[in-house]
Structures are given as structure tokens and as C-alpha cells.
Amino acid sequence: DQQVKQNSPSLSVQEGRISILNCDYTNSMFDYFLWYKKYPAEGPTFLISISSIKDKNEDGRFTVFLNKSAKHLSLHIVPSQPGDSAVYFCAASDGTYKYIFGTGTRLKVLA
């Protein structure tokens, strides 16, 4: 049973609008969450993180929100740009190196 789920395999958004990527988890022991971005033929690259003591973390156009009671996190990209088109993975950890990854959401930003 997957402990980290990204239920939307793909998402299309118009350039300049907001992209919202969602991630749900089941393990209440998870206390640190990461988002990675992956372009074709490249490895995942770290994007942004959040610890369970926060409910929001912002870095430029990227904001991650954490709702612990709902076991849900989301990544907001605003404004979305064509270069943001990639696969986005969320990952969760219980404080160890054993990050559990979701299956990814493919974002396509339309020009």
C-alpha cells in the first residue's frame, strides 16, 4: 500500500496561471516533506521542502502547504512558466533517510 500518493498523473495549466500539485500521505510519523522536479533524461532535482512544524514554506514562485490533520501537502507554482513543465515528485520522511516517494505528476504549462 502506497504511503505517499499523487493521485493526478498529469496536469495542464496555462502560462501565467497557478499550478497546484497535490500529495497525500498515510503515515502520521512523517515529519519532513520534499518536492523534486524531474525533466526528461535528467535526474530529479530538489525544489522545496517543509517540516511538520510549519504549514507553509515559500521560495520565489514556489510555495508548499502542509495540512497535517488532512495528511495532505500541495505545491503551488505561480505564475507558471513553460520551463516548469516537468514531472514533480513529493517525498516524505519520518526523520530518517528513508524517503518515500510518490509516483509523480506530469505538469505541462501551455504557452
Kindly list the residues in this chain that would bind other proteins in the complex (CB under 8 A). Answer: 2, 4, 31-32, 34, 36, 41-46, 49, 51, 89, 91, 93-104
Question: Least distance in Å: CB of 97 to other proteins?
Answer: 5
Which lies closer to other proteins via its Cβ, residue 17 or residue 54?
A: 54
Contacts of 97 (CB under 8 A, 6+ apart): none
Task: Confirm if 37 and 47 have CB atoms less than 8 A apart.
Answer: yes
C-alpha cell at 92: 516524505
Question: Least distance in Å: CB of 62 to other proteins?
Answer: 14
Instruction: List for the chain the helix, strand, coil content (%; round to 5).
Output: 5, 55, 45
Give residue for cell 526528461. Answer: 40
Which lies closer to other proteins via its Cβ, residue 15 or residue 57?
A: 57
C-alpha cell at 28: 502520521
Question: Least distance in Å: CB of 13 to other proteins?
Answer: 22
Which lies closer to other proteins via its Cβ, residue 57 or residue 74?
A: 57
Which lies closer to other proteins via its Cβ, residue 43 or residue 60?
A: 43
